[in-house]
Structure 1
Amino acid sequence: MASGNLMERAQALDRDDPLSSLQAEFNIPTRAQIASSRLPESSSVSQSSSSDTADTDVTASSEPSTYLCGNSLGLQPKRTRTRIAQYLDTWATQGVQGHFKPLDGSPLPTWLDADQRAAELIAPIVGASESEVAVMQTLTANLHLLMSSFYRPDINGKHKILLESRAFPSDHFAVETQLRHHGLSPETSMVVIETPHSEDNVLTTYDILSTISAHAATTALILLPGIQYYTGQLLDIPVITAYAHKHDIFIIWDLAHAVGNVPLSLHSWDVDAAAWCSYKYLNGGPGCIGGLFVHERNSTVTKAITDDKPAEGYSNRLAGWWGNDKKTRFAMANKFHPVSGASGFQLSNPSILDITSLNASLEIFQLAGGIKQLREKSLKLTAFLEKLLGEMKEEDKALFRIITPLDPQQRGAQLSIKLSEGLLLPVMTELEANGVIVDERKPDVIRVAPAPLYNSFVDCVKFIAAFSLALEAGRKAKGSKGTSS
């Protein structure tokens, strides 16, 4: 199909998109900006700054880039700068009073309540009650905190931890070191889930359940991703959770690629615990504060805590003063009185700078009407991208294949595309030269993720046009190597 017809098709879909106005909420880098190696002189980033074009040959300096990398780092909401400036003004004018003193005209909570406001905003996105979530720490730190609370190995009974064979390296490291911390060996206490059915290790639910069955008698904990980072596969969280519980196994979900991407119902799915980051689909900013979920049955304080018996009535956890009940937090007594719920797992007072940035983005989720509306658009965007890939020239299609499940219910916004050997570098180089940002997973996969908050159907068409040029560049690069050899 002619590129003009494709663009008209995409423009019509964008006109009919009820969420299209949300794109204006984000700073979308221009092609000149992503090609520049110079920090803009102005503190206010302009969409077309002459200083940005000083060291680039890109002629259309103000043309927006095609940013399809929300699975790695979400774009910056425009209101983030405003909210952070308000936070800085509060600090500058109020000092320590910012912890407790509400300011007329300020949309920001007091610093004492900032984490509570974040919990209110994130709870509907993960399908939990406000008391079951806490915005705190970072992803791997939260996984360690959850494992320290709920992994109780018995060397003569249940001691194994199950995870997928291609888990994100940080998750793998966390499991290995937790085992060693307990004096156990990964060789005997770590089980990796694999599949004989897929060369790309796209796991079926049967693969996972059968591994659980095989090791049920000796497994104490399961750690799995809601969406697998490499393939983009969405696992069946409720079915796998129920099966783990059937075998009396505690399960923790890493939702780094799922939160803000697909609808979650952690409470009703009876999930034990989960953790996530906030810099991908939640657009909190690089390395921004993470979050965790602890089901209410695992976080209740069941007995009145008194000064002489402060350690009764709650599950074991590593504790810090911010997990202390607010009523006693500032009493400065060496008695831990945890608040009931996930917030009782908090350690230090959270970074207000981080929470302010995250909350700015979560405000936009409210404007969108919630995650279900975003999912509806996401399914259409990703299906459209998949269709366009299938309509490419046969010589192009011979050079790649989609490894993400083609069933829309088994994936989020991401399509992982596996390239023929030797194409990754020339393809990535050409995409960037044409103002397209995706990410790579060596040796041969690119991940393309149209995020429904700020991506459009036109973005998908622009990617296809640049991808075709990139594949042509890859063919030429491989051809020249063959000639020279």
Structure 2
Amino acid sequence: MVFEDNLEFAQQLDQQDPLSNMRGEFHIPKIKGTEQDEIYFCGNSLGLQPKLTSQYLNDELNKWQKLGVKGHFDCEFPWMPYHEFLAEESAKLVGAKASEVVCMNSLTANLHFLMVSFYRPSNKKYKVLIEDHAFPSDHYAVESQVKFHGHDPADAMVLLKPREGETCLQLDDILATIDEHADELALIMLPGVQYYTGQVFDMQAITDAAQHHDIVVGFDLAHAAGNIEMQLHDWGVDFAAWCTYKYLNSGPGSVAGCFVHEKHHDNPDLPRFAGWWGHDKSTRFKMENQFMPIQSAEGWQLSNPPILSLAAIRASLDTIKQAGGISTLRNKSKQLTAYLRFLLQNRLANQVDIITPDEALSGSQLSICINSEDKHGKAVFDAIEAAGVTCDWREPNVIRVAPTPLYNSFADCIHFVDILEAAL
């Protein structure tokens, strides 16, 4: 499509957009002191609240009020199996079987619990491949696991770095590093989408390379779930984890998701930290002390989950289902992001650099560097925020903007670039 840089063209795209009605399914924040909608480009950090959320939460509050403990069993959507109601739609988002996913804990907690099972260092194979610029929590988790097993992180952590003068990693370099360290690598843990640059990693190619060398591979999908299409089961990924409050719109700090490939479900030799909620359902209430894990991803659960948070996730998943699922969202996302990229390059090519790769290697997020010697990006960020834009800032000089397909419009892109141009 040949884009045009004017509001009338953007409005025409919005009129043709089959998802334009979904904006009405969300609460859009207002610019302070006005009744005008913000330009909310921060779904990569915290997604907006679906209107279904309050209804679903109130249903559970009313249930607790009227039924007390009986809410676990004797009602619609009973609490005892509530996490099961999220499995099918969660699985569709990451390309998995329902038995391979479960909502539990928080993202970093899930990475730790999964590494208990899947980071099993030996004298020879003990190293972990991770980005040099990984999200800090991922780096902390891997470093602490390495130390827990008695290894020195300076030796045991293989850090991937971009080429000189570049910001994104090249797939060839990732694969070459895997080959170089294959005899020593026990685990590869990388993001599906890099949080700073917005780069989408080729998870299939990385998994294929890992399996060729008998290396376990896991992914942090915090910025990928609900953003890009994935096929974790078909790719053979060993494990993955994601939060649900970014593109999945389930509320701040909401319960996370995890994936464990079915090839690991019935492995009795796979160690794990165990808890009551991961025990075989048919004998759980016999209250015996011999742990029998459920032979699915549920077997990695520890405790019964917070139902109010799961209710918010169910509201979000139902909203995504109403929109047509991840493939429909991705189709709009590609066009929306391409239009924003066009506007930035058309008007501001000499003032900003987009460090996010092109469409094939990007999702909803574009990371923008202010092209100036004095690195005044934070001042520009403050100015656009004061003008009614919500996005986010990452040191040293990146403004991350994420036009998300569920509630952002093509007109939002025009208005954003108008504001950014004025701020510059």
CA distance in 1, matches of 2:171, 2:139: 20
Q: Which amino acid aligns with 2:221?
A: L
CA distance in 2, matches of 1:220, 1:411: 28
Question: 2:42 pairs with 61, 69, 76, which one?
Answer: 69
Q: Check if 1:411 corresponds to 2:369.
A: no
CA distance in 2, matches of 1:15, 1:167: 39
Partner of 1:43: none
User: Counterpart of 1:417 in 2: which secondary structure?
Assistant: strand
Question: 1:114 pairs with 73, 77, 82, which one?
Answer: 82
Matched-pair identity in % = 50
Question: Displacement, 1:424?
Answer: 2.0
Q: Is the 8 A contact 1:299 1:314 kept in 2?
A: no
Partner of 1:126: 94
Question: Displacement, 1:350?
Answer: 0.6
Question: Displacement, 1:300?
Answer: 2.0
Q: What are the superposed Cα offsets for residues 405-458 of structure 1, whole Å, 9 maximum, x if unpaired? A: 02x110100000011333222211211111111101012100010000111101
CA distance in 1, matches of 2:271, 2:78: 30
Partner of 1:15: 15
Q: Which amino acid aligns with 2:87?
A: A
CA distance in 2, matches of 1:164, 1:211: 11
Q: What are the superposed Cα offsets for residues 237-287 of structure 1, whole Å, 9 maximum, x if unpaired? A: 101100010011000100000000001110011111100000100001111
Question: 1:293 pairs with 259, 279, 283, which one?
Answer: 259
Larger RCO: 1 or 2 (CA < 8 Å, sep 6+): 2
Cα gap change, 1:99 to 1:196, in 2 (>3 Å):
same
Partner of 2:335: 380
Partner of 1:140: 108
Question: Displacement, 1:82?
Answer: 1.0
Q: Is the 8 A contact 1:256 1:276 kept in 2?
A: yes
CA distance in 2, matches of 1:470, 1:330: 62
1:349-388 matches, within 5 Å, as 349-388=304-343
Q: Which amino acid aligns with 2:152?
A: S
Question: 1:320 pairs with 269, 275, 282, which one?
Answer: 275
Partner of 1:460: 413
Q: Is the 8 A contact 2:5 2:343 kept in 1?
A: no
User: Counterpart of 2:367 in 1: which secondary structure?
Assistant: strand
Question: Displacement, 1:327?
Answer: 1.0
Q: What are the superposed Cα offsets for residues 174-228 of structure 1, whole Å, 9 maximum, x if unpaired? A: 011001101111011111011325432x011101001111100011001000000
Q: What are the superposed Cα offsets for residues 106-151 of structure 1, whole Å, 9 maximum, x if unpaired? A: xxx1101110011122011111010000100011000001111111
Question: 1:273 pairs with 239, 260, 264, which one?
Answer: 239
Q: Is the 8 A contact 1:430 1:469 kept in 2?
A: no
CA distance in 2, matches of 1:315, 1:360: 34
1:23-172 matches, within 5 Å, as 23-32=23-32, 53=33, 61-103=34-76, 109-155=77-123, 157-172=124-139
CA distance in 1, matches of 2:113, 2:37: 41
Q: Is the 8 A contact 1:289 1:355 kept in 2?
A: yes
Q: TM-score normalized by structure 1?
A: 0.85
1:205-244 matches, within 5 Å, as 205-244=171-210
Partner of 1:444: 397
CA distance in 2, matches of 1:359, 1:264: 20
Q: Is the 8 A contact 2:200 2:363 kept in 1?
A: yes
Please list every run of 5 or more consecutive structure 1 residues that lacks an aligned counterpart in the other structure.
33-52, 54-60, 104-108, 302-312, 472-485
1:173-184 matches, within 5 Å, as 173-184=140-151
Larger radius of gyration: 1
Cα gap change, 1:402 to 1:440, in 2 (>3 Å):
same
CA distance in 2, matches of 1:195, 1:322: 42
User: Counterpart of 2:183 in 1: which secondary structure?
Assistant: helix
Q: Check if 1:253 corresponds to 2:226.
A: no
Q: Is the 8 A contact 2:163 2:169 kept in 1?
A: no
Question: Displacement, 1:66?
Answer: 0.3
Partner of 1:308: none
CA distance in 2, matches of 1:249, 1:335: 31
RMSD of Structure 2 on Structure 1 (CA): 1.2
Q: Is the 8 A contact 2:369 2:377 kept in 1?
A: no
Q: Is the 8 A contact 2:194 2:223 kept in 1?
A: yes
* Superposed structure 1 runs of 4+ greater than 3 Å apart: none
CA distance in 1, matches of 2:147, 2:271: 20
Partner of 1:398: 350
Cα gap change, 1:128 to 1:25, in 2 (>3 Å):
same
Question: 1:194 pairs with 161, 167, 170, which one?
Answer: 161
Q: Which amino acid aligns with 1:195?
A: P
CA distance in 2, matches of 1:403, 1:5: 21
Please list every run of 5 or more consecutive structure 2 residues that lacks an aligned counterpart in the other structure.
none
Q: Is the 8 A contact 1:374 1:452 kept in 2?
A: yes
Q: What are the superposed Cα offsets for residues 34-70 of structure 1, whole Å, 9 maximum, x if unpaired? A: xxxxxxxxxxxxxxxxxxx3xxxxxxx1110100000
Q: Which amino acid aligns with 1:418?
A: C
User: Counterpart of 2:286 in 1: which secondary structure?
Assistant: coil
CA distance in 1, matches of 2:329, 2:266: 33
